[in-house]
Amino acid sequence: MSLILDQVSQRYITDGGEVVHALADTTLTVDTGSFVCVVGPSGCGKTTLLKILAGFLKPTGGQASVDDEPITAPSWKRGVVFQHANLYPWLTVRKNVELGLRFRGIAPAKRREVAEECLALVGLVGFEDKKTYELSGGMQQRTQIARVLANDPEIILMDEPFGALDALTRERLQMDLLRISRERRKTVFFITHSVEEAVFLGDRVLVMSPRPGRVVLDEEVRISQTYGRLLPGKELRSTPEFVELRDRIADQIYEGQEL
Ligand SMILES: Nc1ncnc2c1ncn2[C@@H]1O[C@H](COP(=O)(O)OP(=O)(O)OP(=O)(O)O)[C@@H](O)[C@H]1O
């Protein structure tokens, strides 16, 4: 799978008739299996970029494509995880996870098997028959991730998925997401406001400029390679390489902005 943005730009027209230039010409290739994190100041067009990749929005300029096919509509091949889970409260956890498969006409036995496998992957064994309103915020996000994984997408698009969670839950979910994306060899496009989270999760971090957003820094993260092994979370975050990259990215974002 090769995902390409070619000179993509986006202008919105507000209800008042004002033109908002949200995204400037953006050219980008996302390689299969990569974990790309996107950071940038508020309103710089990160969600706009994700909506274009998801097929929710047709860009006003340029083109987004997957394997030379233009992206013109949403597809289960590109799973989207939002900050808030958008689960169906009248359905159980299992039924929420099975939903995409049901729409695609997959037989009940197979649906159940896939859902159980995905719920195990995200650590929700034993919660299958709960209603989603009975779950904590972290568990709801786990359910949302399982629902996307059930479709076996080529790419997972994530918009601030852990932004509303407490620090400990967020760290646990980060570790689990890394494990799952590696085990399942998933390509991940992950938007976050946290530079620390981006450097921790990403093997590539894109930094966007203030509106109209464009990529002003495209940095490969090679900390684990430098150490020749995968480092546990705490150890990785305190390496000089991590701290240097985190600070450099933060400087780039906050440069010229009034705090
Ligand atoms: N449908 C719309 N109509 C008009 N303007 C819009 C629309 N959607 C987004 N915008 C504007 O486009 C700009 C980029 O929005 P976008 O949500 O992509 O930014 P973002 O980087 O994700 O922001 P944040 O980090 O605050 O979530 C903002 O100024 C926003 O107000």
What average pLDDT does the segment 204-227 reach? 90
Cα of 111 to ligand 1 centre, how many Å? 36
Cα of 48 to ligand 1 centre, how many Å? 6
Tell me, using a 6 A CB cutoff, whether residue 257 lines ligand 1: no
- pLDDT at residue 232, rounded to an integer: 77
State the distance between the two ends of the chain, measured CA to CA, in whole angstroms: 40
- pLDDT at residue 148, rounded to an integer: 96
Quick check: 259 pLDDT over 60?
no
- pLDDT at residue 256, rounded to an integer: 53
**Residue 252 phi, psi dihedral angles, 5° rounding:** -60, -40
Cα of 251 to ligand 1 centre, how many Å? 22
Fold of 3-77+153-258: Rossmann fold (3.40.50)
What average pLDDT does the segment 65-78 reach? 94
Q: Which helix (H) or strand (E) holds 39?
A: strand 35-39
Residue among 15, 20, 38 whose CB has most ligand 1 atoms within 8 A, to mutate? 20
Kindly report, residue by residue over 158-170, the tens digit of the pLDDT. 999 999 999 999 9
User: What are the residue ranges spanned by the domains of the chain?
Assistant: 3-77+153-258, 84-152
Quick check: 82 pLDDT over 70?
yes
Cα of 215 to ligand 1 centre, how many Å? 16
Work out the pLDDT band at 224, boundaries 50, 70, 90: confident
Q: What's the pTM value of the predicted model, to 2 decimals? A: 0.94
Helix axes 137-150, 108-121, angle to 10 degrees: 130
Six-digit token string for 240: 């000089």
- pLDDT at residue 158, rounded to an integer: 97
How many CB atoms sit inside 10 A of residue 255's CB? 10
Question: Does the ipTM exceed 0.90?
Answer: yes
Quick check: 77 pLDDT over 90?
yes
Tell me, using a 6 A CB cutoff, whether residue 20 lines ligand 1: yes
Strand partners, 61: 9
- pLDDT at residue 85, rounded to an integer: 85
- Note if the bond before 212 is cis, omega within 30 degrees: yes
DSSP string, 134-201: GS-HHHHHHHHHHHHHHT--SEEEEESTTTTS-HHHHHHHHHHHHHHHHHTT-EEEEE-S-HHHHHHH
Cα of 43 to ligand 1 centre, how many Å? 5
Find out whether 195 and 250 touch, Cβ atoms under 8 Å: yes
Average pLDDT along the chain = 93
Tell me, using a 6 A CB cutoff, whether residue 10 lines ligand 1: no
- pLDDT at residue 161, rounded to an integer: 95
Work out the pLDDT band at 257, boundaries 50, 70, 90: low
Most confident of 50-54, 176-180, 230-234: 50-54
Quick check: 228 pLDDT over 90?
no
- pLDDT at residue 150, rounded to an integer: 97
Give the residue among 79, 64, 43 at the shortest CA–CA distance from 190.
79
Kindly report, residue by residue over 141-187, the tens digit of the pLDDT. 999 999 999 999 999 999 999 999 999 999 999 999 999 999 999 99
